[in-house]
Structure 1
Amino acid sequence: MNELHANPKVASPAPLAHVRLDAPATAPFPIFTESADRLVHAMQGRLTNGVSPASMVLAYLDWLVHLANSPGKMGELVQNAAAKSLPLLRYAQSSALGLRGIDPFIEPLAHDSRFASPQWQTFPFDVLHQSFLYAEQWWHYATTGVRGVSRHHEAVVEFAARQLLDMMSPSNFLGTNPDVLKATVEQGGQNLARGMENFLDLLHRQMGGPEAKPSADGFVVGRDVACTPGKVVLRNRLIELIQYAPATGAVHPEPVLIVPAWIMKYYILDLSPCNSLVRWLVERGHTVFMISWKNPDAEDRDLGMSDYRRLGVMAALDAISAIVPGVGIHAAGYCLGGTLLSIAAAGMAKDGDHRLASLTLLAAQTDFEDAGEILLFIDESQVTYLEDMMWNQGYLDTKQMAGAFQLLRSNDLIWSQMVRRFLLGETPHGNDLMAWNADATRMPYRMHTEYLQRLFLRNELAKGRYTVDGRPVALTDIRAPICAVGTTKDHVAPWRSVYKIGLLTDTDVTFILAKGGHNAGIISEPGHAGRSYQISTHKDLDHYVDADSWEQVTPRREGSWWEAWQAWLAERSGPRMPPPPMGGEAAAPLMDAPGLYVLMR
Structure 2
Amino acid sequence: MTQGVSYRLIFDAWMEWVTQLAISPGKQTELAALAGSGMVSFTLRLPGAMVGEGDSWLSKPTEDRRFSSADWAAWPFNAFARAHMVAEDWWLEAARNVPGVPKRTEDEMQFLIRQMADTWSPANIPWLNPTVISRTVQSGGFNFLQGIKNWWEDLDRLLSGAPPAGTEAFVIGSTVATAKGKVILRNDLMELIQYTPVTETVFAEPVLIVPAWIMKYYILDLSRENSLVQWLIARGHTVFMISWKNPGHRDRDISLDDYRQAGVMAALEAVGRVLPDRKIHACGYCLGGTILAIAAAAMAREHDERLASVTLFAAQTDFAEAGEMLLFLDERQIGLLEDLMWDQGYLDTRHMSAAFQVLRSNELIWSRLVRNYILGERDQMTDLGAWNADQTRMPARMHSEYLRGLFLENRLTAGRFAVNGRVVALRDIGTPFFVVATERDHIAPWRSVYKVALFTDTDMTFVLATGGHNVGIVNPPNSGFGSYLIDRRRQGQRYRDPDSWAVGAERRTGSWWVAWQAWLEELSAAERAPPPGMGAPEHGMPPLGDAPGTYVLMP
Asked if these proteins are the same fold (TM beyond 0.5), I'd say: yes
Question: Alpha-carbon deviations, 1:332-363, whole Å to 9, x = none?
Answer: 00000000000111111112211111111111
What secondary structure sits across from 1:258 in the alignment? strand
CA–CA distance in 2 between the matches of 1:354 and 1:456?
29
CA contact (8 A) 1:91 1:127 kept: no
Q: Do the aligned partners of residues 411 and 108 (structure 1) sit closer, same or farther apart at CA in structure 2, a change above 3 Å counting?
A: farther
Q: Which of 520, 542, 550 is matched with 1:596 structurally? A: 550
In structure 2, the residue matched to 1:374 is 325
Larger radius of gyration: 1
Q: Which of 273, 287, 290 is matched with 2:241 structurally? A: 290
Q: Which of 14, 23, 28 is matched with 1:60 structurally? A: 14
Is 1:82 the counterpart of 2:36? The answer is: yes
Question: Alpha-carbon deviations, 1:247-302, whole Å to 9, x = none?
Answer: 10111111110000000110111111111111111111111000000001111111
CA–CA distance in 2 between the matches of 1:123 and 1:191?
23
Q: Which of 92, 109, 121 is matched with 1:140 structurally? A: 92
In structure 1, the residue matched to 2:80 is 128
CA contact (8 A) 2:58 2:78 kept: no
In structure 2, the residue matched to 1:192 is 144
Q: Which of 295, 299, 303 is matched with 1:348 structurally? A: 299
Map 1:266-305 → 2, pairs under 5 A: 266-305=217-256
**Which amino acid in structure 2 is aligned with residue 192 of structure 1?**
F
Q: Do the aligned partners of residues 468 and 51 (structure 1) sit closer, same or farther apart at CA in structure 2, a change above 3 Å counting?
A: same
CA contact (8 A) 1:174 1:423 kept: yes
CA contact (8 A) 1:377 1:404 kept: no
Q: How large is the RMSD of aligned CA atoms in angstroms?
A: 1.6
**Which amino acid in structure 1 is aligned with residue 462 of structure 2?**
F
Shift of 1:111: 5.0
CA–CA distance in 2 between the matches of 1:478 and 1:266?
26
Shift of 1:238: 0.4
CA contact (8 A) 1:87 1:105 kept: no
TM-score, scaled relative to structure 2: 0.96
What secondary structure sits across from 2:168 in the alignment? coil
In structure 2, the residue matched to 1:227 is 178
CA–CA distance in 1 between the matches of 2:61 and 2:416?
41
Structure 2: unaligned runs, 5 residues or longer: none
In structure 1, the residue matched to 2:434 is 483
Percentage identity across aligned positions? 53
In structure 2, the residue matched to 1:438 is 389
Shift of 1:107: 9.1
CA–CA distance in 2 between the matches of 1:88 and 1:157?
26
Q: Which of 438, 449, 465 is matched with 2:416 structurally? A: 465
Shift of 1:213: 5.6
CA contact (8 A) 1:475 1:505 kept: yes
Map 1:191-270 → 2, pairs under 5 A: 191-206=143-158, 208-209=159-160, 211=162, 214-270=165-221
What secondary structure sits across from 1:434 in the alignment? helix
Question: Alpha-carbon deviations, 1:535-572, whole Å to 9, x = none?
Answer: 22212211111111110011201121111111111111
In structure 2, the residue matched to 1:396 is 347
Shift of 1:49: 2.6
Question: Alpha-carbon deviations, 1:338-389, whole Å to 9, x = none?
Answer: 0000011111111221111111111101000011121123222222222221
What secondary structure sits across from 1:518 in the alignment? coil
CA–CA distance in 1 between the matches of 2:175 and 2:9?
43
CA contact (8 A) 2:436 2:465 kept: yes
Mean Cα displacement is larger for which, 445-454 or 121-130?
Answer: 121-130
CA contact (8 A) 2:308 2:432 kept: yes
What secondary structure sits across from 1:500 in the alignment? helix
CA–CA distance in 1 between the matches of 2:116 and 2:218?
35
Map 1:404-553 → 2, pairs under 5 A: 404-553=355-504
Mean Cα displacement is larger for which, 173-182 or 437-446?
Answer: 173-182
Map 1:94-105 → 2, pairs under 5 A: 94-95=48-49, 98-101=50-53, 103-105=55-57
**Which amino acid in structure 1 is aligned with residue 115 of structure 2?**
Q
CA–CA distance in 2 between the matches of 1:185 and 1:300?
55
Map 1:19-30 → 2, pairs under 5 A: none
CA contact (8 A) 1:108 1:133 kept: no
Shift of 1:212: 6.2
In structure 2, the residue matched to 1:115 is 67
Structure 1: unaligned runs, 5 residues or longer: 1-45
Q: Which of 100, 109, 113 is matched with 1:157 structurally? A: 109
In structure 1, the residue matched to 2:271 is 320
TM-score, scaled relative to structure 1: 0.89
CA–CA distance in 2 between the matches of 1:116 and 1:202?
27
In structure 1, the residue matched to 2:27 is 73
CA–CA distance in 2 between the matches of 1:100 and 1:184?
24
In structure 2, the residue matched to 1:357 is 308
Is 1:582 the counterpart of 2:534? The answer is: yes
Mean Cα displacement is larger for which, 86-95 or 373-382?
Answer: 86-95
Count, aligned residues: 552
CA contact (8 A) 1:328 1:355 kept: yes
CA contact (8 A) 1:259 1:341 kept: yes
CA–CA distance in 2 between the matches of 1:214 and 1:193?
18
In structure 2, the residue matched to 1:10 is none
CA–CA distance in 1 between the matches of 2:122 and 2:415?
50
Shift of 1:146: 1.5
What secondary structure sits across from 2:67 in the alignment? coil
Shift of 1:117: 2.6
Is 1:387 the counterpart of 2:338? The answer is: yes
What secondary structure sits across from 2:309 in the alignment? strand
